[in-house]
Amino acid sequence: MTPRYSGIIPPMITPLTGRDSLDIDGLEKLVERLIDGGVSGIFALGTTGEAPSLSYRLRRELVEHTCRFVNGRVPVLVGITDTSLVESARFAGEISDFRVEAVVTSAPFYFPAGQPELREYLEELLPELSLPLILYNMPSLTKISFHRDVVEWALDQEKVIGLKDSSGDLTYFKKMVKLAAEKRPDWPLLVGPEELLAEAVLAGGHGGVNGGANLNPRLYVDLYEASARGDWETARDLSAKVLELSNRIYHVGQHGSAIIKGLKCALSIVGICDDFMAAPFHRFHESERKIIESHLEELGIS
Amino acid sequence: MTPRYSGIIPPMITPLTGRDSLDIDGLEKLVERLIDGGVSGIFALGTTGEAPSLSYRLRRELVEHTCRFVNGRVPVLVGITDTSLVESARFAGEISDFRVEAVVTSAPFYFPAGQPELREYLEELLPELSLPLILYNMPSLTKISFHRDVVEWALDQEKVIGLKDSSGDLTYFKKMVKLAAEKRPDWPLLVGPEELLAEAVLAGGHGGVNGGANLNPRLYVDLYEASARGDWETARDLSAKVLELSNRIYHVGQHGSAIIKGLKCALSIVGICDDFMAAPFHRFHESERKIIESHLEELGIS
Amino acid sequence: MTPRYSGIIPPMITPLTGRDSLDIDGLEKLVERLIDGGVSGIFALGTTGEAPSLSYRLRRELVEHTCRFVNGRVPVLVGITDTSLVESARFAGEISDFRVEAVVTSAPFYFPAGQPELREYLEELLPELSLPLILYNMPSLTKISFHRDVVEWALDQEKVIGLKDSSGDLTYFKKMVKLAAEKRPDWPLLVGPEELLAEAVLAGGHGGVNGGANLNPRLYVDLYEASARGDWETARDLSAKVLELSNRIYHVGQHGSAIIKGLKCALSIVGICDDFMAAPFHRFHESERKIIESHLEELGIS
Amino acid sequence: MTPRYSGIIPPMITPLTGRDSLDIDGLEKLVERLIDGGVSGIFALGTTGEAPSLSYRLRRELVEHTCRFVNGRVPVLVGITDTSLVESARFAGEISDFRVEAVVTSAPFYFPAGQPELREYLEELLPELSLPLILYNMPSLTKISFHRDVVEWALDQEKVIGLKDSSGDLTYFKKMVKLAAEKRPDWPLLVGPEELLAEAVLAGGHGGVNGGANLNPRLYVDLYEASARGDWETARDLSAKVLELSNRIYHVGQHGSAIIKGLKCALSIVGICDDFMAAPFHRFHESERKIIESHLEELGIS
């Protein structure tokens, strides 16, 4: 039984032309690039999408246009993570006008909640949602991980339909795969860090929500498929390519923001969209852009 | 030269009756309690005010009623911290209809910014504000501290008019006092943790933004005044009482949320306002309430 | 070209009967159990061996007896990590009387060194050693990871002959595999966390230094071999068993010490050795021992 | 009742001429400088003394010569912190041949112990010691703080005679002052970070174990005395000078080791001792030395 959300579901970057203005043409080109690349869905307004840095007005606009461009060809998932449950629920309601299939939430991330509080938070949020919910484990930014007890509870909630894990901790991921496999074989377990995609799938995971798929969706789809069919030789080769992309695009500049900056810069170079970044970040300077340019050539991406 | 915002400026808790409903009567009683207690101002929508957990609708409502109840008797400062610069600026604009004297911002707190990015963030935010800005250093929750360079830059900005430091690091506080004293003797340096109020004032600071002042404003005002006039004997005695209050009210229950829970519970017991808490937190259970009740008696607070 | 140190090299627990007395009979039984189980080597005095908690007198005694019992049947590796380079070097000299094949060092762990300092530390240590050196990456306890630059430097040192990575970060591990494969195909890359053994080998690693192999060496050897020959079906089944062992033995009790306590308790139950633990830890109480007992039964280990 | 160990007790740097050789002449000059400066005691083999980086042979030699040079004029305290209880106890026994008044221990620092384990560790260590014990709270390097329960237990042990707190958390310090004042008015509470010396004494503490007193002992003694007699005006001025010294000597170079490096470099410039540092650190380069030189001139230290 293959879960509905298996394969590659890129955490789509948000193309911007300014602090509060969407690059609509860029968005259209990006959506086409992703679907052409064989992705199984699109995840808008995650971390890679700079969601917390965007106004709610723009977030809504992004969802509207994304759904219009996608036009039902693949499922659209939308992040609703906020520090305020009321705002999360409000936004989830707002976007239910569009063709969104599920919403995605991480933990509220200002106050570090305890595990019982995290469960209660989800218990309180669920009835407010008209769409199904996917959990998004992102402890490095939210200060808290979804522990076993919370995930076990979630597995009993019909409305919760999967887990995306961006912890980078494959041991955690494998434990969650095991937990879910027993109770809900329909539950997708999706891995965030692309460097772990092959291993996550081989270990029973169902796919990846990998930033690099914005740039080269086909590579990630191929890697997923090789891993899913157990073709480890191919998976190993493609995995090396993913590592190469990561090494060349995500580590120009020193800061944690280098991943999103690198992706947006690369997408701008290949003519997809503007590389404007929402505060507190800024697009690369010309010198860094030149490096990305030469790295793209070496990677054969255009 | 005494800065305008010296003395005790409580980080007001937000009285709630439900997830998205304000306890307006409670708010009025709380405002009167604070002003009766001699506070120099009121800081709404800080961490103690659970700001990030509240809807923007409610935040606006809170500011409106607070300003109405205060009615110009003391300055009202309002927190506008958000992960989105556009939302921060939007909310700052929205509340400029009311009698707010200054806005307060911490760092954007989802993505950990670097120091240059933090400065650029403030540079970009400032022109959007019609009110002066106070900086709020809260590294334990925002993942980043305002380093010397950023504060030095801020001292050159006329519109930035002070710093509240909740780092708990008195060495940092003292360094900032020294920095500000040279350039901007009008700049208030306010300390967050109440356990450090006396020492912070003796070291040249100008006051405190102390949660306990919600409950017993007079104690904190007296401690501030004793410290400010160098009456260390009195300051030591009052400081011991503050420590006692902290020991008895903030450590019932194990979690980081115990401070706000304890304050709200105590204010509910003494008849000021409801103790409802915004998600992801919950009010104390009856057993914990009983403990707070007996501790209040021991502290002689009613 | 298979590196000399491939396969399973258990980080041997140190059987004790008291604070400074070795359980020599227990050690002999344990060594036989490991060699019978097919291990490729024995790593004495690692984290699982409680090395930093032991006196140098006892450490020397342990090495002497271990080498005597092993009697050349498999290589013996010995941890020499210390906060003092002089003590590390001294101990390395002392044990060179015995049949030790290589020494293993992590970073000095009191002061957190920078990367250049870590490299210089190794540069200064190497000439003091008469035996080859394996690096041991253990950032959660030593406060510092071996970054790419340091590992690249190490790959140029003939005397450095491998890397054990206990970071739990498979992305790091894969990057190091790639780095080593280009320069030193003879360099073993060994993974610490047993939950990642299969994936680490599939990704090009050469084996595991896995605590659980103290208890059930054959399981880990079989898993390594299945992974090494690309038999992913078998590897997946055995991997599930490893996860099961980890779930049942390492999480009785709440503390970080639960892993070593669980292993020692289990080995005591199956009659191998005493479960005395060096300060600051203590063996399990009777109630926890009962739980381990029943878990061992469920796991079919005797 | 003034505790025996009040005032300034410098954490003496360890003068070295090489990896395992003591600068005995430098040590003699340093001891004279400290005693001339009015210190109340000398603490050898703390963090500032690079204790964990030194061989036990050299540690013993240092204690021997220090006691000989001090010759009973002030108490000598000696750090015995180790990851191995047996080694700690052994070293404490070894130095009891010399005129040492008390030993000092932090928590074992490789494995992070829990609070009950920390208490049990001390319970097990105490009977092994022939000298009284002072606790040393250093959570940033040992991974664990002495919590209230452990300190309460320690206050009941006759052999435990004080607490040095290097947490930098003045709130913690004040709570411990209060705890000790009730039970053991003879217990000194000494503060590590010199930037907090005045405030710590004003809050009821008994002195400081401040690195800068290696360089300018008189300044710290004067500051302690002004604070102890409640002369806040003088304390504030001297406190500013301490901050100035800290700013100019401890922040040349970027690393955590900059404090010890700066101190040793400055002491070398003023002709006291060699600035050799034990691995993993190294003395400053010439360019950094020049900066320290000019800063010393500005500070008027020679």
d(CA B22, CA B71): 19
d(CA D37, CA D73): 13
Helix (H, G, I), strand (E, B) or coil at D229: coil
Chain B nearest-CA residue for D168: B169
d(CA B264, CA B283): 8
Looking at the partner chain, which of B199, B204, B240 has a beta carbon nearest the beta carbon of D170?
B199
Written as six digits, the tokens of A211 are: 């930033």
> Does any CB of chain D come closer than 8 Å to the CB of residue C55?
yes
Looking at the partner chain, which of A195, A232, A243 has a beta carbon nearest the beta carbon of C202?
A232
Helix (H, G, I), strand (E, B) or coil at D212: helix
Looking at the partner chain, which of A55, A256, A280 has a beta carbon nearest the beta carbon of B108?
A280
* Partners of residue A92 in chain B, C-beta under 8 Å: none
As a whole-number percent, the residues of chain A with pLDDT over 90 amount to 92
pLDDT score, position C166:
98
* Partners of residue B203 in chain D, C-beta under 8 Å: 198-199, 236, 239
Chain C nearest-CA residue for A178: C240
Task: Render pLDDT for D217-268 as a digit per residue (tens, 0 to 9).
Answer: 999 999 999 999 989 889 999 999 999 999 999 999 777 789 999 999 999 9
* H or E stretch covering B163: strand B160-165
Q: Is the dihedral of CA D57, D62, D63, D65 positive or negative?
A: positive
Note if the bond before D132 is cis, omega within 30 degrees: no
d(CA A27, CA A14): 7
- ∠ CA B3-B223-D210, rounded to 5°: 90
Residue environment code for C203-239, b if the CB has 16+ CB neighbours within 10 A, otherwise e: bbbbbbbbbbbbbbbebbbbbbbbbbeeebebbbebb
Domain coordinates in residue numbering, chain C? 7-231
Written as six digits, the tokens of D164 are: 């040095």
d(CA C179, CA B220): 60
pLDDT score, position B2:
67
* Partners of residue D175 in chain B, C-beta under 8 Å: 195, 243, 247
d(CA C257, CA D147): 19
DSSP state of D11: B
Looking at the partner chain, which of D174, D198, D232 has a beta carbon nearest the beta carbon of B195?
D174
Cβ separation D108–C280 shorter than 8 A: yes
Q: Are C170 and C177 in contact (CB under 8 A)?
A: no
User: A20 to chain C, minimum CA–CA distance in Å?
Assistant: 35
Looking at the partner chain, which of C169, C178, C236 has a beta carbon nearest the beta carbon of A168?
C169
Nearest to C131 by CA among C163, C91, C164: C91
* Partners of residue B169 in chain D, C-beta under 8 Å: 168
pLDDT score, position B232:
87
Q: Are B261 and A106 in contact (CB under 8 A)?
A: no
Is there an interface between B and A (3+ Cβ pairs < 8 A)?
yes
**Which chains are within 8 Å of B by 3+ CB pairs?**
A, D
pLDDT score, position D215:
97
Among residues 112-131 of chain C, which lie with CB inside 8 Å of chain D? 112-114, 117-118, 120-121, 124-125
Q: CA separation (Å) from B232 to A70, A215, D229?
A: 69, 64, 11
Q: What is the mean pLDDT of chain A?
A: 96
> Does any CB of chain C come closer than 8 Å to the CB of residue D1?
no
Cβ separation A236–C203 shorter than 8 A: yes
SS3 of chain A: helix, strand, coil, percent, to 5? 50, 10, 40
As averages over each run of 10 residues, the pLDDT of chain C (302 residues) reads 86 98 98 98 98 98 98 97 98 96 97 94 98 97 96 97 97 95 93 96 95 98 96 92 94 84 98 97 95 95 84
Looking at the partner chain, which of B54, B107, B280 has a beta carbon nearest the beta carbon of A113?
B280
Written as six digits, the tokens of A21 are: 């203005």
Written as six digits, the tokens of A135 are: 């959990």
d(CA B6, CA C208): 61
Cβ separation C108–D279 shorter than 8 A: yes
Average pLDDT over residues A267-294: 96
pLDDT score, position C1:
55
Cβ separation C202–A203 shorter than 8 A: no
Helix (H, G, I), strand (E, B) or coil at B2: coil
In a mutational test of the D interface, the residue from B165, B166, B169 whose CB has the highest number of chain D CBs within 10 Å is: B169
Task: Render pLDDT for D19-69 as a digit per residue (tens, 0 to 9).
Answer: 999 999 999 999 999 999 999 999 999 999 999 999 999 999 999 999 999
* Partners of residue D110 in chain C, C-beta under 8 Å: 47, 52-53, 109, 141
Nearest to C163 by CA among C77, C98, C221: C77
Written as six digits, the tokens of A33 are: 């690039």
Residues of chain B with pLDDT under 50: none
* Partners of residue A253 in chain B, C-beta under 8 Å: none
Helix (H, G, I), strand (E, B) or coil at B218: helix
Cβ separation A54–B86 shorter than 8 A: yes
User: D83 to chain C, minimum CA–CA distance in Å?
Assistant: 5
Among residues 243-282 of chain D, which lie with CB inside 8 Å of chain B? 243, 247
Average pLDDT over residues A51-71: 98
d(CA D66, CA D78): 10
Looking at the partner chain, which of D175, D204, D232 has a beta carbon nearest the beta carbon of B202?
D232
Looking at the partner chain, which of C87, C117, C279 has a beta carbon nearest the beta carbon of D281?
C117
Cβ separation D170–B175 shorter than 8 A: no
**Which chains are within 8 Å of A by 3+ CB pairs?**
B, C
Q: Are A131 and A92 in contact (CB under 8 A)?
A: yes
Cβ separation D199–B195 shorter than 8 A: no
In a mutational test of the A interface, the residue from B13, B55, B83, B115 whose CB has the highest number of chain A CBs within 10 Å is: B83
d(CA B54, CA A89): 12
Is there an interface between B and D (3+ Cβ pairs < 8 A)?
yes
User: B7 to chain D, minimum CA–CA distance in Å?
Assistant: 19
Task: Render pLDDT for A225-241 as a digit per residue (tens, 0 to 9).
Answer: 999 998 988 999 999 99
Written as six digits, the tokens of D97 are: 């041949």
10 Å Cβ neighbour count for D171? 18
Among residues 35-54 of chain A, which lie with CB inside 8 Å of chain B? 47, 52-54
C-D contacts (CB, under 8 Å)? 115
**Predicted confidence (pLDDT) at residue A2 exceeds the cutoff of 70:** no
> Does any CB of chain C come closer than 8 Å to the CB of residue A19?
no
Cβ separation C257–D117 shorter than 8 A: yes
Cβ separation C239–A203 shorter than 8 A: yes
Q: Are C220 and C213 in contact (CB under 8 A)?
A: yes
Nearest to C125 by CA among C160, C89, C97: C89
Task: Render pLDDT for A180-205 as a digit per residue (tens, 0 to 9).
Answer: 998 998 899 999 999 999 999 988 99
Nearest to C159 by CA among C121, C116, C127: C127
d(CA D184, CA D179): 8
Among residues 231-250 of chain B, which lie with CB inside 8 Å of chain A? none
d(CA B106, CA B113): 12
* Partners of residue B174 in chain D, C-beta under 8 Å: 195, 239, 243
Q: CA separation (Å) from B23 to B54, B68, B179, B214?
A: 13, 15, 41, 15
d(CA B296, CA B216): 11
Q: CA separation (Å) from B39 to A116, B258, D164?
A: 37, 24, 37
Q: For the sheet containing B207-208, what is the strand order?
A: B7-8, B207-208, B189-191, B160-165, B133-137, B102-105, B76-79, B42-44
The 3-class SS string of C229-277 reads: CCCHHHHHHHHHHHHHHHHHHCCCCCCCCHHHHHHHHHHHHCCCCCCCC
d(CA A208, CA A201): 8
Q: Where are the alpha helices (DSSP H) in chain A?
A: 24-36, 56-70, 85-94, 115-125, 139-142, 148-155, 170-183, 197-202, 217-228, 232-249, 258-269, 286-299
User: A287 to chain B, minimum CA–CA distance in Å?
Assistant: 18
CATH number of D7-231: 3.20.20.70
pLDDT score, position D163:
98
Global pTM? 0.95
Looking at the partner chain, which of C20, C121, C255 has a beta carbon nearest the beta carbon of D114?
C255
* Partners of residue D53 in chain C, C-beta under 8 Å: 83-85, 108, 110-111
Cβ separation D170–B174 shorter than 8 A: no
In a mutational test of the D interface, the residue from B171, B177, B239 whose CB has the highest number of chain D CBs within 10 Å is: B171
Written as six digits, the tokens of D112 are: 């992070």
d(CA A71, CA A42): 12
Task: Render pLDDT for D107-149 as a digit per residue (tens, 0 to 9).
Answer: 999 999 999 999 999 999 999 999 999 999 999 999 999 999 9
d(CA C260, CA C238): 22
pLDDT score, position B210:
98
Nearest to B177 by CA among B167, B166, B165: B165
**Which chains are within 8 Å of C by 3+ CB pairs?**
A, D
As for the ipTM of the complex, it is 0.96
User: C171 to chain A, minimum CA–CA distance in Å?
Assistant: 6
